[in-house]
Amino acid sequence: MKQIQLPLSARDIAILHAGETVTLYGEAVIARDAAHKRLYAMLQTGADLPFSLSGACIYYAGPCPAAPGEVIGPCGPTTSGRVDAYTPALIEAGLSAMIGKGARAPEVVHAMRGRAVYFAATGGAAILLSSHIVAAEVIAFADLEAEAVRRVTLAGMPVIVAIDAQGNSALWPIA
Amino acid sequence: MKTMGAIRILPASKVAETVCGLVIDAVCRLPDDVLFALHAAKDIETGAAHAVLAQIIENEALARAARRPCCQDTGLAVVFIDIGQDVHVDGSLIDAVNLGVAEAYRKAYLRKSVLSAIARENTGDNTPAILHMRMVPGDRVSIHVTPKGFGSENMSRLFMLKPAEGEDGILESITQTARLGAANACPPVILGVGVGGTMEGAAILAKRQLLRACGSKASTPTLRRLEKEALRRVNALGIGPMGFGGRTTALAVLIGEMPTHLAGLPVAVNVQCHCARHAGAVI
C-alpha cells in the first residue's frame, strides 16, 4: 500500500487519485465543529491561529478521553460536511489535507483544486484508527474538551483518497 | 375494596448499577446480529466497500478485546424502561438512570457529548439521558440502553404524509431519507421506521425498532413485505459502505406500525449507523 508523508508534497497533491487506498504518516491537527467556528472567526479578524495552516492536515474527529496507558482515546472520523462552510477559507490559508468521512460541498471541492486532498477514514473504526496515532497533545481550545484542538502524529493510518485535487471523487454519487 | 397484591421493592441503586453496566457493554461491542449482517455484506462487496467492512469488523474485535468503545461517538444515552406496575422503586428512578449514565461515561473513559442546545455548554457527564418509560404488568423492570451517535441521528427525518400517499408514500419516505442522508451516516445503516401515531409517537416507535435484531421478523405480513421492499429500494441506491458505492447501503429496514388519526399518516425514519449498539437487561 502506498505510504504518504504529511505534510503533503506538491507532487503528492498532484498525483494522489480518488479511490486510492494509502497510509498516512506524520503530523496532523485534530479539529471539528466548535474549533472550526473559532478558527474561522480568527481568520476573519486576522488573529494569530494556534497552529500554522500552511501545509496543514486537519483530521475531523473528537476522541474519547484516553484511558490509562492510551496515547489518545478511540478516535474515528466525524462527518466532514458540518465544517464545509469554513473549509474554503482554511484552504485559502494553506490547508492542504483533510481526513474525515462523507461528502463535501461543491465549494470545498472547488477550493481544493490544485491545492488540497480529502481523505476518508472509516467511520466507527475508532480503535483501529487510534492505534495508528502515536503521539497526541492538546494545543488549543482545551475548554472544548472532546472538541479541543490536538496535534497528533500518525503512523500508518489507513485512508482512502475520497476527493483529489483535480476534483475527482470516489464517493457516491459516483459519476 | 380489593386488598393490594405483593409489591416488589427495588432499590434505585440497582437501576443505576444496571444502566451503568449496559452502557459500557453496549459501546464496547456490536450485537451478534449486526456482526452477522456485516460479515454477510463483506462477502458480497468488492474494492473499497469490502475494505471498509473488513476494517469495521476488525475494529469491533479490537474494541471487544480491549473493552473500549468501537466508535468515539459514544452517543447520547437513550434508555427504554418498561416498569412493572407491581414494582416500587425505592428512590428516584430518573436520578438513578442519570447516575448510571454518568458513572459509565466517567469510569469507562467514554466521550461526554451532551451539551446545552443553544449555549453549547457541555454538561460534563453525558447526562441527561433520553428516557422513554412505559408502565407494564408484572413485577420486573426491563431496561434497554442504546447510546445514539449523532452522525446518523442528524440524518433522520419525519414525514407527515397524506393518507392518500399510502404504502408508496411510506416506501418513498424511507428511500428519500437514505438518498439524502445515508452517505453521511456511516453506512451500511439500519433504518428504524415508525408508521402511524402522532408526530412524536411515530418518532419514538421508529427509535424502538432499532432495538430489534437485524433480520428479525416484523409483526405482520404487511410490515414484512414493506421492510423487504424498502431494503431492496435503499440498497438499489448504490451508496454502499461509507459511501464508496456498493450493494450494501442498509443492513436492515425495521418497521413498526401503530394506529393513527383518519386524517394523517406520520412516518418517522430514524437512521442508525453500522455501529448499532444496544444492550438490555431485566431486573
Query: Can you give the residue ranges of every domain in chain A?
Result: 2-163
Q: Position of cell 487506498?
A: A21
What is the pLDDT, as a whole number, of residue A1?
Answer: 83
The H-or-E segment that residue A43 falls in is: helix A33-45
Question: Looking at the partner chain, which of B72, B154, B184 has a beta carbon nearest the beta carbon of A64?
Answer: B72
| A152-A157-A158 Cα angle (round to 5) | 155
Question: Looking at the partner chain, which of B68, B184, B274 has a beta carbon nearest the beta carbon of A127?
Answer: B68
What is the pLDDT, as a whole number, of residue A175?
Answer: 55
In Å, what is the CA distance from B107 to each residue of A116, A136, B101, B124? 40, 21, 10, 13
Q: B128, B110, B151: which is closest to A33 by C-alpha?
A: B151
Q: Which residue of A has its CA nearest to B69?
A: A74
Q: Do A74 and B68 touch (CB under 8 A)?
A: yes
B45 phi and psi, to 5 degrees? Answer: -100, 160
Q: Which residue of B has its CA nearest to A62?
A: B72
Q: Identify the CATH class of A2-163.
A: alpha beta
Q: Using a CB–CB cutoff of 8 Å, tell me whether B220 touches chain A.
A: no
**Is the distance from CB of A29 to CB of A149 less than 8 angstroms?**
yes
Which amino acid, residue B250? A
Question: Looking at the partner chain, which of A21, A62, A127 has a beta carbon nearest the beta carbon of B59?
Answer: A127
Question: With bands split at pLDDT 50, 70 and 90, how would you rate the model's confidence at B193?
Answer: very high
**Is the distance from CB of A149 to CB of A30 less than 8 angstroms?**
yes
**How far is it, in rounded angstroms, from Cα B185 to Cα B272?**
7
Residues 6+ apart with CB under 8 A from B120: A34
Q: Does position B231 have pLDDT exceeding 60, yes or no? A: yes
What is the pLDDT, as a whole number, of residue B1?
Answer: 54
What is the pLDDT, as a whole number, of residue A173?
Answer: 84
A138 phi and psi, to 5 degrees? Answer: -75, 125
Q: Does position B138 have pLDDT exceeding 80, yes or no? A: yes
Kindly list the strands in the beta sheet with B279-282, ordered across the sheet, starting from the edge strand earlier in the chain: B130-136, B76-84, B141-148, B279-282
Tell me the shortest Cα–Cα distance from B154 to chain A, in angstroms. 10
**How far is it, in rounded angstroms, from Cα B182 to Cα A163?**
18
**How far is it, in rounded angstroms, from Cα A59 to Cα A49?**
17
Q: At what angle do helices B32-44 and B47-66 cross, to 10 degrees?
A: 150
Q: Do B110 and A171 touch (CB under 8 A)?
A: no
What is the pLDDT, as a whole number, of residue A174?
Answer: 64
Q: Position of cell 458505492?
A: B245
| DSSP-based three-state secondary structure for A19 | coil
Q: Does position B4 have pLDDT exceeding 90, yes or no? A: no
Q: Position of cell 475494505?
A: B51
What is the pLDDT, as a whole number, of residue B6?
Answer: 87
B36 phi and psi, to 5 degrees? Answer: -60, -45
Question: Looking at the partner chain, which of A62, A124, A172 has a beta carbon nearest the beta carbon of B111?
Answer: A62
Per-residue pLDDT of chain A (175 residues; tens, 9 = 90+): 899 999 999 999 999 999 999 999 999 999 999 999 999 999 999 999 999 999 999 999 999 999 999 999 999 999 999 999 999 999 999 999 999 999 999 999 999 999 999 999 999 999 999 999 999 999 999 999 899 999 999 999 999 999 999 999 999 986 5
Residues 6+ apart with CB under 8 A from B157: B173, B176, B177, B180, B181, B268, B269
What is the pLDDT, as a whole number, of residue B215?
Answer: 87
The H-or-E segment that residue B225 falls in is: helix B221-236
Q: What's the number of CA atoms in the CB half-sphere (13 Å) around residue B106?
A: 10
Q: Does position B2 have pLDDT exceeding 70, yes or no? A: no
**B91-115 average pLDDT score:** 97
Residue in B52, B67, B72 to test binding to A, most A beta-carbons within 10 Å? B72
Domains in chain B, start-ordered, CATH in brackets? 8-27+70-148 (no CATH), 151-281 (3.30.1330)
Q: Which residue of B has its CA nearest to A173?
A: B239
What is the pLDDT, as a whole number, of residue B273?
Answer: 97
The set of cell numbers assigned to B2 is 380489593
Instruction: Quick: pLDDT tens for B150-183.
Output: 999 999 999 999 999 999 999 999 999 999 999 9
